[in-house]
Amino acid sequence: MALDSASDTSLLLGREDVPPVLEENAGGSSPYLVTCDHYGRLIPKALGDLGLPESELTRHIAWDIGIAGVAERLSKQLDAHLVAQRYSRLVIDCNRPPVAPGSIPRISEATTIPGNEGLARETVEARREAIFDPYHRRIQEVIDARLREGIPTILVSLHSFTPVYAGIARPWHIGTLYQRDTRLPPLLLKLLRGEADLVVGDNEPYAVSDETDYTIPVHGEARGLMNSGIEIRQDLIADQAGQQQWADRLARVFREIEATLRAQRLLPA
Ligand SMILES: [Zn+2]
């Protein structure tokens, strides 16, 4: 039996919990559809603090620091539909296949997550049904509707990364994140590399794979959409000034890409 969204959320999310999906500019005119899997760091009331101190729940293991502010500003500047997910990836990671080991991490970087130890199958299912499924169902619905109405759609998945991971410093300011699309990522790389002050990663610090990623393979590649992920180093977007600067820069880059795609007839002229 198919579950409707009310019974989905009742398994884990209570009256005081907000819905997992946040949307902005739903009627936006832009071909870009912006997603943000690690937008928030909320934890459902029923799960308490997952056994972690506040200092762990505010760092990058819990969410993509700074990306919410960039996503909202970029969505506004481009007039692009944004679909974002408000709960912490420590509850369930919305960019991992639910069968992947890191879907509900028992250890993240070097931190053990007590609240994720020894979970029963129903508990795992409840997290998926309350958070992961509604988020991805909504992205799917949005893409379905756009395709049905003939609205050109380019998927952009926004993330941020920590400047140091497991003791290793990362030199990049920004990276592209892709697997099969050969249209958008080369344009994005070319324009980002044209920005004199940037060190740009090509599938760095992360690359996409079907085993470790969900949003790009499922909503971008399997649907035949032009797509790319973007990773911004979190210290550059930690405050509102940085978020504004990066949203301005990305809006300029994405507008230029849109014009190029129209000239190449990859978008309607
Ligand atoms: Zn992320």
The answer to whether residues 135 and 85 touch, using CB atoms and an 8 Å cutoff, is yes
Instruction: Convert 43-77 into a string of H (helix), E (strand) and C (coil).
Output: CCHHHCCCCCCHHHHCCCCCCCCCHHHHHHHHHHH
Neighbours of 160 (CB within 10 A): 26
Burial 79-102 (b: 16+ CB within 10 A, else e): ebbbbbbbbbbbbbbbbbbbebee
Q: How far is CA 153 from the centre of its chain?
A: 17
Q: If you measure from the C-alpha of residue 13 to the centroid of ligand 1, how many angstroms do you get, rounded to a whole number?
A: 22
Q: If you measure from the C-alpha of residue 269 to the centroid of ligand 1, how many angstroms do you get, rounded to a whole number?
A: 33
Q: If you measure from the C-alpha of residue 263 to the centroid of ligand 1, how many angstroms do you get, rounded to a whole number?
A: 32
Neighbours of 26 (CB within 10 A): 10
Within 8 A by CB and 6+ apart from 269, the residues are 262, 263
Q: If you measure from the C-alpha of residue 190 to the centroid of ligand 1, how many angstroms do you get, rounded to a whole number?
A: 23
Q: If you measure from the C-alpha of residue 157 to the centroid of ligand 1, how many angstroms do you get, rounded to a whole number?
A: 9
Q: According to the model, what pLDDT value does residue 269 have?
A: 83
Count the alpha carbons within 13 Å of 147 in the hemisphere toward its beta carbon.
14
Those residues whose beta carbon sits under 5 angstroms from the ion ligand 1 are: 38, 64, 159
Neighbours of 117 (CB within 10 A): 11
DSSP reduced 3-state for 143 = helix
Question: Model's pTM, two decimal places?
Answer: 0.95
Per-residue pLDDT of the chain (269 residues; tens, 9 = 90+): 444 444 444 579 999 999 999 999 999 999 999 999 999 999 999 999 999 999 999 999 999 999 999 999 999 999 999 999 999 999 999 999 999 989 999 999 999 999 999 999 999 999 999 999 999 999 999 999 999 999 999 999 999 999 999 899 999 999 999 999 999 999 999 999 999 999 999 999 999 999 999 999 999 999 999 999 999 999 999 999 999 999 999 999 999 999 999 999 999 98
Q: If you measure from the C-alpha of residue 75 to the centroid of ligand 1, how many angstroms do you get, rounded to a whole number?
A: 17
Cα distances from 125 to residues 43, 71, 215, in angstroms, run 16, 29, 19
Q: If you measure from the C-alpha of residue 159 to the centroid of ligand 1, how many angstroms do you get, rounded to a whole number?
A: 4
